[in-house]
Amino acid sequence: MGRRNSCTIYVGNLPGDIREREVEDLFYKYGRIVDIDLKIPPRPPGYAFVEFEDPRDADDAIYGRDGYDFDGYRLRVELAHGGRAQSYSYDRPSSFSNGRRGGVSRRSEFRVMVDGLPSSASWQDLKDHMRRAGDVCFSDVYREGGATVGVVDYTNYDDMKYAIRKLDDTEFRNAFSRAYIRVRQYDARSRSRSRSLSYSRSRSYSRSVSRSPLPVDERGWH
């Protein structure tokens, strides 16, 4: 019992609309999580108990997240004391996962584009790979011009820049395939031009191509 308490942390002052997956995003990097028990009372703030496999990971999480500003809420993180209500399994399927963003609804301005993904890549695969560089708050994968492209948002500028340095030209793997990917900072203007070219089938498509040549893989899309 004592060991379980030493592995469990209390996380207070959570937003009233936070989801379990977002709690995971806050703490996954400190160690293996065994269980999450999220409590959202009728009136915020919410709170959660997060149980780690190793008590040292719980200590690291307290050190790293106590006082952390999450969406305007200053988190209170400390070692849990006493008992707690029976919680559900951390590994159970999540009812709010939408198949595109893993239930994480928050976006940020700290965004990178990921090119070169295999067609079998999912948002989960991409998120797992990009987590190596920092806190991911959003991930998505879509088809563009015959290629598979990813978008990843980080919670802060430093993690975004580190992702570009650390993960550019690295090998991406999932259960079905592997490929070397390119990671760069998101440019909304260039992406909007590229996507408008990819999806247009009118004569304006030809005029747009003459002004802004596309890579071979996008020109070959029908």
- pLDDT (tens, 9 = 90+) of the chain, 222 residues, equals 456 668 999 999 999 888 898 898 888 888 888 999 999 888 889 999 999 998 988 988 898 889 888 888 899 999 987 544 333 333 333 333 333 333 344 678 899 999 999 998 888 889 889 988 888 888 888 888 889 999 999 988 999 999 999 999 999 988 888 999 999 998 866 554 444 444 433 333 333 333 444 444 444 444
Q: What is the pLDDT of residue 128?
A: 86
For 214, which DSSP code? P
Q: Is 134 left (phi over 0), alpha (psi -120 to 50) or beta?
A: left
Q: What is the pLDDT of residue 125?
A: 87
**145: nearest Cα among 213, 204, 203:** 213
Q: Answer yes or no: pTM beyond 0.95.
A: no
Calpha distance 91→190 (Å, rounded) = 39
Give the helix ranges, DSSP H, for 41-153.
55-65, 123-130
Are residues 138 and 121 in contact, defined by beta-carbon separation less than 8 angstroms? no
Tokens of 50: 């997060």
Q: Cα separations (Å) of 28 from 15, 20, 67, 201?
A: 19, 12, 17, 44
For 158, which DSSP code? H
Q: What is the pLDDT of residue 52?
A: 92
Q: What is the pLDDT of residue 205?
A: 34
Q: Phi and psi for 9 in degrees, rounded to 5?
A: -115, 150
Instruction: Give me the domains of the chain, ranges plus CATH numbers.
Output: 8-79 (3.30.70.330), 111-185 (3.30.70.330)
Tokens of 58: 């719980």
